[in-house]
Structure 1
Amino acid sequence: MGSRSFDKIQHFRRFTINVESTNDPANLSPQKVGTFQLFGDSLSKFNEDCVNTLSENNDLPKTEIFFMWKAPPPGSGCVTFRAMVLEDEHHWYADDGALSKTFCEQTERDVKFDAEDCCACDEAKYTMIFEGIWSNRTHPKDFPFSLWLTHFSDVIGASHERNFSFWGEGQYATEGFRSLAEWGSVRLMETELRAKSRYLRTIIKAAGLWYPNVNTNTTTTFKTDRRHNLISVASMFGKFFYNYLVYGKNNLNKTIY
């Protein structure tokens, strides 16, 4: 994905993405590094010259590309994805920064360590205060003139265990999260969370903040325990047709007693 700012989206014309074994780069077997799958957007194709590699299907300007990848069998070790992008004939980038990323499988030892990372013996009850600080003083650039349309939607989230998430950068949003981000509605999001109740301790809900009370606060309470010691919450803030999403995740391991 090209970098994005308020008034500019970075485009690129060509790219390659390959995956290799982190500890044994010479081993190109799918049993060691997994396999790519095309997403079907007609922007990508399998590279004819390199194995385990995707490249562009044409040199038209692009802002983002998608692909799927099937992980290798357990015990295969870590894999590293590497990308190269060509912006134009004078600018290209490879490997550095976010263009290189290593993934390792989670082992039983990792899961056991995570579960024991929190040392609480009983459940704890918290009060969460969501405070709106969005104003023409804190964010003067392009602040909307229609003040009566500014608002934060209802807050929705949950206290949950470590191996649960309802949103992640680069992941496809669920219909519930999309409804929250685009319309500020938490109904579908709450339904999706309740469907995952085996991972949750408490569903967290708080009333939204609407003009003229955008810069006040809203509160709610929730419970955590040794297993469910993380919280994730989200709220959309909007100004007429333009909506934004505020997302937070907090680890409560060090604050439960």
Structure 2
Amino acid sequence: MLLKCLLLLSLAVSQAFGLMGKCDHTPPLATVNTPLENRGYYVFNIENAVQKEGNLYYTPDQTYVLTVTSRENSRPFRWFMITAEDPAVDNNIYDFGRKFADVGSLKTLDTDWRSRYSERCQNTVENADNSAKTQVEVHWVSPKHSENQQQVRIRAMVAENKEAWYTGNNLTILLHMDDQRPRDSPPLPIRDECNLCSEARYEVIFNGRWSRLAHPRHYPSKPDENGYTHMIGASHGNNFTLWLQGTNAGPGLVDLVVKPTPTTLEREIIDAMVLDGGTRTLIRGKKHDHPFMSKPSHSLFRVDRTHHMFSIIVGMTPSPDWFLGTSKFELCDEDGWLEKFDLPLYPWDAGIVDGVSYESPKSMSQPVDNIERVEIGSFDRDSPFYQMNLNDLAPFAILQVRRLDVYPLIGIDCSEGQNAEEELQQDAPVLEPVLAESRQSLLGESCAGEWGEWTPCTPHAGVCGPGLRTRTRYIQNIDLYVNYKVSKSGKGEQEFSSCKNNKDSKATERKECFVRC
């Protein structure tokens, strides 16, 4: 009997506080239980939402401005309620096993004493006084991590007096989650495996864009002390992570953005260099301080079938522990290596030091937070991103990725289903002489001289890590060329020359190697 009473009491409390089903928007002092029809007297609007094919879409973890406005000054309203809710809620049926979706959060403005958080309903803002109002503004922060096809319904109620209040479809906004990737997302999805029959060499260029003109709010008071740290990163495989949203920062990242020194992070990358995973190339670009912050930082790196992505980090000073960068930028596609891409960069928070602005007093976070995007749309007036939307924020840097060369894999048997033929056609000027060199055995040993000694291992970047060694031999009376064609069946065919003239040529063979650091 006691258990039954407690359950009934719990249900009554839940209903009273709007925790079950839809929030009841009937004004507490209303003498009429049925709302009137809103014939355009009041308008409910949301800014920055994207409209596509008649629907409104939101981006996760962004700030949106909601306004309720009276079209006529002669028709002010005194009471209002605004609620964000899961459209799947039912006012009459409650499923105890149902998991409600994250609908974000509503925020009152600290300068507007006419609104407050409701004690009757969850995720609801209501009037704090009975004064006449012609407009109210509330901010909605969309869910940080939305599921595909998630929807959020935001309902408003306005009341002129005890007898006249309005709600319904024209005071309701239905929002769909926009599955478009954030502006600072790499163009290709991460691949478990890369099956391209080649390697590639890239250049990455960091172009700083942080300035008083582009980012005026709370810009540092001593710009002569502004700067970017070294650009540090690596080309790597799936089993290596330089940094990742939602995880703790490693010691190397902490040292780069807090001290700032790149030594620890460079050592982490070098120690992870292995042929069958980990990292392949250490990426290192120059640091730039004011007034040369717009000067680009360059670095070269290589990728292969195992190490087919890259990550970088660039710290910002002054800041609590903010940095710019990209994590697990995939370069391998079904049709070949990515040719080029320009990526806008926005600040990330390493979660080590507390602070809301560039020059905030520094104190260590206790406990340490995960790496997350610096709070865009912050409701702290000391933040440079106070009530902003990511789509309205100018990039703090542009990262340019450019493919320079593509090299075939020698002695590798490509598995079926790859587009090796298309890739070779696309990069024929680079690949043709290498193909000829790698197929000398088809021309007959009588044409070829003895191989010379292997050269010492030459790392692709720096003084250690993966690299190449080569050896050469002379080919007598041979004309080196390769004709490449694709038959009607789609299968590639190569035609090689034979010994038929008096021209001597030199053939080169390459082999992967590794220099320990």
- Equivalent residue, structure 2, for 1:150: 226
1:234-257 deviation digits (Å, cap 9, x = unpaired) = 010112x64421121322114264
1:227 aligns with 2:306: yes
2:216 counterpart residue number: 140
- Within the candidate set 221, 228, 235, 1:159 is matched to 235
Aligned pair in 2 of structure 1 residues 99, 153: CA closer, same or farther (>3 Å)? closer
Q: SS in structure 2 opposite 1:115?
A: coil
The number of equivalent residue pairs is 168
RMSD across aligned positions (CA): 3.3
Alignment match, 1:251 = 330
Match of 1:217 in 2: 296
Asked whether the 8 Å contact 2:232–2:266 carries over to 1, the reply is yes
SS at match of 1:228: coil
Unaligned runs of 5+ in 2: 1-60, 64-96, 107-116, 125-141, 149-190, 339-402, 407-517
Matches of 1:172 and 1:203 in 2, distance apart? 22
Is the 8 Å Cα contact of residues 316 and 324 (structure 2) preserved in structure 1? Answer: yes
Rg larger for: 2
Q: Does residue 312 of structure 2 align to residue 236 of structure 1?
A: no
Residues 125, 140 of structure 1: CA spacing in aligned structure 2 closer, same or farther, 3 A cutoff? same
Instruction: Give the residue type in structure 2 aligned to 1:218.
Output: S
Identity across matched positions, percent = 23
SS of aligned partner of 2:198: coil
Residues 85 and 142 (structure 1), Cα distance of their counterparts in 2 relative to 1, 3 Å cut = closer
Give secondary structure in 1 for the equivalent of 2:193: helix
- Where do residues 28-67 of structure 1 align in structure 2 (5 Å cutoff)? none
* Partner-residue secondary structure (3-state), 1:114: coil
Q: Does 1:200 align with 2:287?
A: no
TM norm structure 1: 0.55
Structure 1 residue aligned with 2:255? 179
Question: Which amino acid is 1:248 matched to?
Answer: T
Q: CA separation in 1, counterparts of 2:218 and 2:305? A: 44
In structure 2, what is the equivalent of residue 40 of structure 1? none
Q: Deviations over 1:27-56 (max 9, x none)?
A: xxxxxxxxxxxxxxxxxxxxxxx9xxxxxx
- Matches of 1:139 and 1:83, distance apart in 2: 31
Q: Quick one: distance in 2 between partners of 1:143 and 1:172?
A: 28
1:84–1:99 contact (8 Å) kept in structure 2: no
* 8 Å CA contact 2:103, 2:143 repeated in 1: no
Equivalent residues in 2 for 1:94-173 (5 A)?
Answer: 97-98=143-144, 114-116=192-194, 118-119=195-196, 121-173=197-249
Give the TM-score normalised by the residue count of structure 2.
Answer: 0.29
Report SS of the residue matched to 1:236: strand
Instruction: State the Cα distance separating 1:232 from its structure 2 match.
Output: 0.1
How far the C-alpha of 1:137 sits from its partner, in A, is: 1.5
How many angstroms does 1:219 deviate by? 0.9
Q: How many Å apart are 1:143 and its aligned residue? A: 1.2
What is the alpha-carbon distance in structure 1 between the residues aligned to residue 204 and residue 62 of structure 2?
Answer: 32
User: Separation in 2 of the partners of 1:248 and 1:176?
Assistant: 16
The 1:142–1:172 alpha-carbon spacing in structure 2 relative to 1, beyond 3 Å, is: same
Higher relative contact order (CA 8 A, sep 6+): 1
